[in-house]
Amino acid sequence: MRILCITRSYPPIVGGLEQASYYLTTHLLKLVSGQIIANRKGHINIPFFLPYALVKALQIIRRERIDLAHLGDALLAPLGAALKTITGVKVVCTTHGLDVIHDKFGYQHIIPPWLPKLDHIICVSRATRQACLERRINPQRCTVIPNGINPDKFQAIPKADSRRQLEQILGIKLAGEKVLLSVGHLVKRKGFSWFIESVLPKLDDHTFYIAIGNHKDNLTLLRDRVNELSLNSRVCLPGLVDDTVLNLAYHAADLMVMPNIPVTGDIEGFGIVGLEASCCGLPVLASDLEGVRDAVQPGENGFLVPPLDAEAYINLIERFEPDAGFSAKVKQFTLTNFTWDKIAQDYVNLFRKVVAS
């Protein structure tokens, strides 16, 4: 089987979709023969990338006798439908959530109607699949395969060492603290602001919160809110950090917190940072919401509580105590079920069924 991977989001641009595209395509092309057409210049280049990808894909499909084209996200659905119509090649698209439900600038009238015309849709979570089904996609042609993680990206570091190094880099004090960590873009659905306002002030004074991420002006607004609440001694908002600092944070923290809240017109398609944390043996406390449910399995790699339930968060955080045995279980569960090696093999198994159908 020969495949062609087409993605509009790819490194060196930094982002969750870019990283997922890179790891998925890299691992797929270790298992089957194929080529990749990737946009490496970001969103600004998409109007130029789409016609280029169409022409390039037509050439590759005919020259290389491609059996199946894989699209990196739903925005490419019209391109996939064109390739299928012109060449007859099988087309499979991965959907991530927001690329399905986005509702600005007439998006819902332009993009989702093309998805049912493709041969199969892969959804990164059950919430994303439900969004697809609501847009009249045949349930038999809509399969959930989660995102994966690359365990080689994270190197084990003893907690004492990681805390000492993180203290030096971020200029904070973690000795004697219960350290909570959140990672992600500082957008409303992540719930960082809600957590700082509704949960953190009610926790023990020896609870320290690190929230890593950035998004335009939201970091400044969040820092101002922390100052208004007089929580500067208990909150660190470092903005974007490199992989070295992120690895230190995952190993220095006691509990990963994903306090997502429901936001109309937005969705958490999966929650990859939950897997990154649990890959490092860090248990995850998350809102029982949307795609987060597929990344965090209660009792296996963390805990789920109702979104916007401050008391549920407070009670669990206060009761939680680090446990080496549970941390080992968390790490093993994640490495067993969510490595890109396994996820890519699941993709290939599905591709073979689609080609044979």
Q: Are 75 and 105 in contact (CB under 8 A)?
A: no
Cβ atoms within 10 Å of 48's Cβ, excluding its own: 11
Mean per-residue pLDDT, 47-73: 97
Which residues fall within 8 angstroms of residue 174, CB to CB, at 6 or more apart? Answer: 163, 166, 167, 208, 252
Instruction: Kindly indicate whether the domain formed by 2-148+339-356 is annotated with CATH number 3.40.50.1860.
Output: no
Residue 61 clears pLDDT 80, i.e. is over it: yes
Per-residue pLDDT reduced to its tens digit, 19-55: 899 999 999 999 999 999 999 999 899 999 999 999 9
Residue 217 clears pLDDT 90, i.e. is over it: no
Q: What is the secondary structure of 106-146 as a DSSP string?
A: THHHHSGGGGGGSSEEEESSHHHHHHHHTTT--GGGEEE--
Q: Which pLDDT value is given to residue 142?
A: 97
Distance CA 240, CA 355 (A): 42
Q: Kindly report, as residue ranges, where domains of CATH 3.40.50.2000 are found in the chain.
A: 2-148+339-356, 151-337
Which residues fall within 8 angstroms of residue 262, CB to CB, at 6 or more apart? Answer: 189, 289, 290, 307, 308
CATH class of the domain comprising 151-337: alpha beta
Cβ atoms within 10 Å of 310's Cβ, excluding its own: 17
Per-residue pLDDT reduced to its tens digit, 180-212: 999 998 999 999 999 999 999 999 999 999 999
Which residues fall within 8 angstroms of residue 306, CB to CB, at 6 or more apart? Answer: 287, 288, 312
Distance CA 269, CA 291 (A): 5
Mean per-residue pLDDT, 118-143: 96
- The DSSP secondary-structure symbol of 294 reads H
More confident residue, 14 or 133: 133
Distance CA 154, CA 277 (A): 9
Distance CA 69, CA 80 (A): 8
3-state secondary structure of 269: coil
Q: In sequence order, what are the beta bridge partners of 4? A: 35, 69
Per-residue pLDDT reduced to its tens digit, 286-326: 999 999 999 999 999 999 999 999 999 999 999 999 999 99
3-state secondary structure of 289: coil
Which segments of the chain does DSSP mark as H helices, in order? 16-31, 46-64, 77-87, 98-101, 107-110, 126-133, 159-170, 192-198, 218-228, 243-252, 272-279, 292-295, 310-319, 324-337, 340-356
Question: Token match 């012109």: residue?
Answer: 86
| 308 Rama class: left (phi>0) / alpha (psi -120 to 50) / beta | left
Q: Which pLDDT value is given to residue 104?
A: 87
pLDDT confidence of 105, banded at 50, 70, 90? confident
Least confident among 62-71, 98-107, 277-286: 98-107
C-alpha distance across the termini of the chain, in Å: 14
